[in-house]
Amino acid sequence: MADRSYHHGDLRAVLLDGAERTLADRGTAAISLRELAREAGVSHAAPGRHFKDKQALLDALALSGFERLRAALERCGPEGADTETRLLSLARAYVGFALSHGALLDLMYARKHESAMSARLATAVSDILDLTLAPIVQGQADGEIIEGDPFTIAYTVVSTLHGLATLSTDDTVERVDEVLHEVVRTLLHGLTPR
């Protein structure tokens, strides 16, 4: 069979889209480069020009997910807003992405723990932490967040949001949004009575 990737414009993008659909519908184990090539209408060898094996495809898919999550988080920061508003905006973006792309988010965090994680993937993971860290550092500078290691606080925020998204997989973004106000308020003000 002749390689017909030119008909697709960007075979790499077609393969990633197909892999993400398969991931969402049937899980990681169902992803096959040969099957993706068949669906794309190209020879079974054609994906090898873009991904040396399934692991390379999964790494690229995880990287794409982190880049898309980063873009969503970058769009969410209202300038000049108070800390609670900035954190709520960040929470909405993170949880919205997680609910819309649950299987992809699971893959992203699973690939992040691989010993052979690429430098690009490590940078993408670091970018997510940096975007979470920014409102924490600003909130500390504004006196709206307690002193302390901003990384620890950022990990707490991300862990809470990730946990909320994981526990809310059957809910819609709108229903979860109702809870986000209280979650962010609890993060900011703690659990002890004042």
pTM: 0.84
Using a pLDDT cut of 90, give the percent of the chain over it.
47
Among 7, 30, 9, 8, smallest CA distance to 19 is for 30
What's residue 163's pLDDT?
87
Q: Is 1 helix (H, G, I), strand (E, B) or coil?
A: coil
- Taking residues 112-126, what's their average pLDDT? 80
* Cα angle 163, 167, 171; round to 5: 125
Q: Where do the domains of the chain lie, and which CATH numbers do they carry?
A: 1-51 (1.10.10), 62-189 (1.10.357.10)
* Cα angle 132, 133, 137; round to 5: 135
- pLDDT value at 175 more than 90: no
- pLDDT value at 186 more than 50: yes
- pLDDT value at 119 more than 80: yes
- Taking residues 103-127, what's their average pLDDT? 84
The more confidently predicted of residues 1 and 99 is: 99
pLDDT tens readout for residues 55-80: 999 999 999 999 999 999 998 866 77
- pLDDT value at 115 more than 70: no
Rounded to the nearest 10°, the torsion over CA 108, 113, 114, 115 is: 150
- Taking residues 137-164, what's their average pLDDT? 91
- Residue 173: pLDDT band (50, 70, 90) is low
Using a pLDDT cut of 70, give the percent of the chain over it.
90
- pLDDT value at 110 more than 70: yes
What's residue 165's pLDDT?
83
Residues with Cβ within 8 Å of residue 41, at least 6 apart in sequence: 4, 7, 8
Which 8-state DSSP code applies to residue 106? H
